[in-house]
């Protein structure tokens, strides 16, 4: 398996990216193609390690507009990496800008969507009482009902193949349980989802239900999804700070903190956004993993394993199949 790696994306690039990928690729028997500043990359590749380095000077920064990947930054490490994925790669890994990654992956100029898929999305897995795939979690700020249905189906396939859930419970994020709730697009999507034989649609999820195990896939537009994703993150930080304060209050609570230290450590690890690794881009014909921007060496090594599992899972093929049917029906 040939994994294309954007060596320059992320807060800790290229050091942690290259070192992590070297370790991950060794463990997984994956051949890496690093894209980015060749000299800097080579500084982190051990002597004798089998890989390829494709040089480019250009990098997409977090502040660059997503569209720049198909314009001035087409030759960036991310843009060039996606082009390599198209011609010869099996999977692609980047810790760079999410917006640019989805834009580049979606655009025919750089990579291109699966035929029949209307919008590619980014799908993060929330580490709550159960893993919940948030589909979309930030790529498409406005969508129509049929796009929401495709998000639901892609998310369902992902949770089947990656988490081994036979019949993932798919819910539509909404402001009430009744089918008549929500903006028009959500009401339309509700009716369409009820009629999907390939989806285990469990109805609307009010967001209070999401942390409590109501569904395996939560479907919404990318604006709402981004709000959910980041609010979970913020709430986690807020809880962490609050716990610290509680345990630091006096000698007795300090002792209480000591006695429960390991359990809280486990709990924090369970809630860590790193727990389920990077987020897949779905709706494109090859696996793309968006690693967290702050990924360290360990996270990158884990993401290599994730990319391999994704590649071998058959997800892209399964999405291609239903998309082809959607396409036939719409012709």
Smallest separation, CB 230 to its own copies (Å): 4
Residue 62 vs residues 27, 294, 297: alpha-carbon distances, Å: 30, 12, 20
Smallest separation, CB 193 to its own copies (Å): 18
For residues 64 and 97, is the Cβ–Cβ distance under 8 A? yes
| Nearer to its own copies among residue 43 and residue 255 (C-beta) | 255
What's the CA gap between 100 and 152, in Å, rounded?
23
Three-class SS state of 43 = coil
Let me know how many helices (H) and strands (E) the chain has, helices first: 10, 11
Q: Which two tokens stand for residue 325?
A: 């049917």
What's the CA gap between 317 and 325, in Å, rounded?
13
- 222's enclosing H/E stretch is helix 222-247
| Nearer to its own copies among residue 146 and residue 206 (C-beta) | 206
Smallest separation, CB 134 to its own copies (Å): 11
Smallest separation, CB 190 to its own copies (Å): 14
**Could you check whether the bond before residue 202 is cis, i.e. omega within 30 degrees of 0?**
no
| Nearer to its own copies among residue 126 and residue 307 (C-beta) | 126
Q: Comparing C-alpha atoms, which of 278, 307, 281 is closest to residue 119?
A: 281
Which residues sit at the interface with its own copies, rule CB under 8 A? Answer: 63, 65, 128-129, 138, 141-142, 173, 175, 178, 180, 182-183, 206-212, 222-224, 226-228, 230-235, 237-239, 241-242, 246-247, 249, 252-253, 255-260, 263-264, 267
| Nearer to its own copies among residue 36 and residue 138 (C-beta) | 138
| Nearer to its own copies among residue 47 and residue 263 (C-beta) | 263
| Nearer to its own copies among residue 175 and residue 272 (C-beta) | 175
E strand spans, 131-231: 131-135, 169-173, 200-205, 217-219
Smallest separation, CB 78 to its own copies (Å): 18
What's the CA gap between 165 and 32, in Å, rounded?
30
Smallest separation, CB 141 to its own copies (Å): 5
| Nearer to its own copies among residue 47 and residue 208 (C-beta) | 208
For residues 104 and 120, is the Cβ–Cβ distance under 8 A? no
Smallest separation, CB 276 to its own copies (Å): 17
Rounded to the nearest 5 degrees, what angle is found at the Cα of 162, between the Cα atoms of 278 and 102?
Answer: 40
């Amino acid at each position: 398996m040939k994994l294309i790696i954007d060596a320059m994306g992320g807060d800790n690039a290229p050091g942690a990216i290259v070192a992590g990928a070297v370790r991950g690729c060794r463990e997984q028997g994956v051949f890496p193609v690093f894209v980015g500043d060749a000299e800097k990359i080579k500084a982190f590749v051990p002597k004798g390690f089998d890989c390829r380095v494709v040089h480019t000077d250009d990098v997409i920064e977090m502040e660059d507009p997503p569209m720049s990947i198909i314009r001035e930054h087409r030759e960036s490490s991310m843009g060039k990496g996606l082009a390599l994925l198209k011609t010869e790669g099996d999977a692609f890994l980047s810790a760079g800008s999410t917006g640019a990654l989805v834009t580049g992956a979606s655009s025919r100029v750089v990579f291109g969507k699966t035929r029949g898929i209307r919008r590619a999305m980014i799908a993060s897995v929330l580490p709550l009482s159960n893993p919940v795939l948030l589909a979309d979690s930030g790529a498409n700020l406005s969508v129509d009902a049929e796009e929401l249905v495709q998000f639901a189906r892609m998310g369902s396939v992902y949770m089947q193949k990656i988490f081994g859930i036979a019949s993932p419970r798919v819910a539509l994020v909404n402001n009430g349980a009744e089918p008549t709730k929500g903006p028009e697009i959500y009401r339309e999507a509700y009716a369409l989802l009820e009629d999907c034989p390939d989806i285990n649609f469990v109805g609307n999820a009010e967001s209070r239900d999401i942390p409590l195990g109501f569904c395996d896939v939560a479907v919404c537009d990318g604006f709402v999804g981004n709000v959910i994703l980041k609010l979970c993150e913020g709430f986690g930080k807020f809880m962490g700070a609050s716990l610290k304060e509680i345990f630091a209050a006096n000698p007795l609570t300090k002792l209480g903190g000591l006695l429960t230290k390991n359990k809280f450590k486990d709990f924090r690890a369970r809630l860590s956004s790193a727990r389920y690794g990077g987020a897949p881009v779905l709706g494109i014909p090859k696996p793309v993993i968006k690693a967290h921007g702050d990924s360290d060496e360990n996270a990158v090594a884990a993401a290599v394993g994730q990319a391999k599992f994704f590649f071998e899972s058959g997800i892209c093929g399964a999405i291609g199949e239903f998309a082809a049917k959607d396409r036939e029906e719409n012709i």
